């Protein structure tokens, strides 16, 4: 069995729904703030950090290899290398997985692994017709040729493509993420009411975590210079959310027969999260008490149309590799892309027949889970889902919660657009 990797500490920025207070804050700035705070708070000499890995989906145009930009801006020495990883919605978990591999292979000892996403800053792009037109114009040399080209211009060339929406659409099956969730709701018989109550619970648990100060353990305030403001609380969760308000929303992805609404889906959000990971050897050397250990992880693929079931296919693999069962888990995080999707996963967990039917590997590791141990601090339906960040955020929240409750085992799992799932198992001691 592979050696465990220590989570020494971790932080995230507040999660702020897109278009709000982080509109002018770039993904690299979000990543920089959490990285700088990790460095400031830990006793690790920045010179001893071996690598910086961030997950990111939208790759800002002004920050190629965003991890390198983050590392340098956070003040890490120039000789420390950095890479950016991408596994769509699990990019922030992939950075941890890559770090685990590198540490287990003894290539590295200390790695900062994070995720960052500014969905507010995903650009609008010109259509191809516009770029062809501009090319043609540049090639036209004489004034007459230029005029001729100009005369071919059509207003439709200026119609922007919203890159954000393109990103949320599966290019293979042609469905938007919301549509895949609607498929699960239909197939697994998840009612509108169940979804709305799940969403309500998410808002209530998240708001409670904000009020109680639980999130202060993981949130780093950030100064947004454009707004002259320090943002230190998540913006999105609603403490006063009512079921009536949720019930009023029209179905969004299938307006006629659907049940998935914007209220029981995760909002588009900005935020970053990062963990400081360390080999067992260095933990001893620095005499550090980690908040948790990473024991195993797994990624697996499935039909893009049912991408929301991702956690159900990846979880058994991660459990089986360390001979554990779902029933051993004390706390579980399942990223809430859609209420329907989480509820479908929980249904697969508790129903061996379905698991077998849809071809889940090693279904014997699965069993019904107590809803009271799932997403105890709420989740993405309230908090939002910055795609490159969430995979990291659930591991962060889970590790701190294990530490806080002094529980032994935790599972973090996430569905991935494009038809994949990711799962990671943590152990406290």
Task: List residues near another protein by CB under 8 A.
Answer: 29, 32-33, 36-37, 40-43, 45, 73-75, 221, 223, 225, 228-230, 232
Rounded to the nearest 5°, which phi and psi values hold at 67?
Answer: -65, -40
Q: Which helix (H) or strand (E) holds 200?
A: helix 192-212
Q: What is the DSSP letter of 341?
A: H
Cβ nearer to another protein, comparing 73 with 194:
73
How near is the Cβ of 25 to another protein at its closest, in Å? 11
Name which of 197 and 286 has its Cβ closer to another protein: 286
Picking from 298, 302, 295, the residue whose alpha carbon sits closest to that of residue 317 is 298
Per DSSP, helices labelled H in 236-279 are 243-248
The nearest distance, CB 225 to another protein, in angstroms, is: 5
Q: Among 89, 203, 266, 403, which one carries the catalytic annotation?
A: 89
What whole-number distance in Å separates Cα of residue 239 and Cα of residue 263? 14
CB neighbours (10 Å) of residue 364?
Answer: 12
Q: Where do we find the tokens 């639980």?
A: 214
Residue placing its CB nearer to another protein in the complex, 43 or 79 = 43
Q: Which residue has the tokens 């989570």?
A: 7
DSSP states along 293-317:
EEEEEEEEE--GGGGGGHHHHHHHH
Question: What is the chain's length?
Answer: 429
Residue 42 or residue 341: which is nearer to another protein going by CB? Answer: 42
Task: State how beta strands 409-416 and 222-224 pair.
Answer: unpaired
For the bound state, the minimum distance from the C-beta of residue 232 to another protein, rounded and expressed in Å, comes to 6
In 10 A of CB 58, how many CB atoms? 22
- For 154-228, strand residue ranges (E) read 161-162, 222-224
What SS3 state is found at 29? helix
Is position 89 annotated as part of the catalytic site? yes
Shortest CB 83 distance to another protein, Å: 21
Helices (H), 47-114: 66-73, 91-104
Task: Tell me whether residue 46 or residue 301 sits nearer to another protein (CB atom).
Answer: 46
Using the structure block, give the residue that is written with the tokens 């693929």. 301
| Closer residue to another protein in complex, CB, 37/336 | 37
Q: Is 385 among the catalytic positions?
A: yes
Does residue 324 contact residue 365 with C-beta atoms inside 8 Å? Answer: yes
Structure tokens at 236: 């999105």
Category of 335 on φ-ψ map: left (φ > 0), alpha (ψ -120 to 50) or beta? beta
The residue from 203, 266, 385, 403 that is catalytic is 385
Q: CB 175 → another protein: shortest distance, Å?
A: 40
Q: Of 203, 266, 403, 415, which is the active-site residue?
A: 415
Q: In sequence order, what are the beta bridge partners of 276? A: 9, 112
Q: How far is the CB of 76 from another protein (least distance, A)?
A: 11
| Cβ 206 to another protein shortest distance, Å | 21
Tokens encoding 392: 């990291």
Q: Which residues are catalytic?
A: 89, 385, 415
């Amino acid at each position: 069995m592979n050696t465990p990797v220590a989570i020494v500490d971790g932080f995230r920025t507040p999660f702020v729904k897109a278009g709000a207070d982080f509109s002018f804050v770039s993904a690299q700035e979000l990543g920089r703030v959490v990285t700088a705070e990790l460095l400031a708070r830990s006793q690790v000499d920045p010179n001893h950090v071996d690598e910086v890995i961030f997950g990111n989906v939208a790759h800002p145009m002004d920050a190629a290899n965003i991890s390198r930009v983050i590392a340098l801006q956070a003040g890490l020495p120039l000789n420390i290398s950095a890479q950016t990883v991408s596994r769509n919605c699990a990019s922030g978990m992939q950075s941890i997985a890559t770090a685990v591999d590198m540490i287990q292979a003894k290539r590295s000892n200390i790695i900062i692994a994070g995720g960052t996403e500014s969905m507010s800053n995903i650009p609008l792009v010109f259509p191809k017709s516009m770029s062809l037109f501009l090319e043609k114009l540049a090639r036209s040399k004489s004034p007459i040729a230029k005029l001729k080209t100009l005369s071919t211009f059509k207003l439709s060339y200026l119609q922007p493509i919203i890159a954000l929406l393109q990103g949320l659409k599966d290019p293979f099956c042609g469905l938007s993420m919301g549509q895949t969730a609607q498929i699960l709701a239909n197939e697994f018989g998840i009612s509108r009411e169940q979804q709305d109550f799940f969403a309500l619970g998410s808002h209530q648990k998240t708001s409670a975590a904000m009020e109680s100060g639980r999130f202060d353990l993981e949130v780093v305030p950030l100064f947004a210079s454009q707004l002259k403001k320090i943002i230190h609380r998540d913006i999105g969760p609603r403490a006063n959310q009512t079921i009536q308000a949720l019930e009023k929303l029209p179905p969004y992805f299938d307006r006629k027969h659907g049940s998935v609404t914007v209220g029981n889906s995760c909002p588009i959000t900005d935020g970053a999260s990062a963990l400081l990971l360390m080999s067992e050897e260095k933990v001893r050397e620095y005499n550090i008490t980690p908040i948790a250990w990473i024991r195993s992880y797994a990624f697996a693929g499935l039909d893009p149309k049912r991408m929301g079931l991702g956690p159900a296919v990846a979880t058994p693999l991660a459990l089986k590799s360390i001979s554990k069962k779902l029933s051993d888990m004390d706390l579980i995080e399942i990223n809430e892309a859609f209420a329907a999707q989480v509820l479908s996963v929980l249904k697969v967990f508790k129903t061996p027949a379905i698991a077998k039917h849809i071809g889940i590997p090693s279904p014997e590791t699965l069993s019904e889970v107590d809803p009271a141990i799932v997403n105890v601090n709420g989740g993405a339906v309230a908090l939002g889902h910055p795609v490159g960040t969430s995979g990291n955020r659930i591991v962060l929240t889970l590790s701190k919660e294990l530490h806080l409750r002094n529980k032994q085992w935790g599972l973090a799992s996430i569905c991935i657009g494009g038809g994949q799932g990711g799962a990671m198992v943590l152990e406290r001691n």
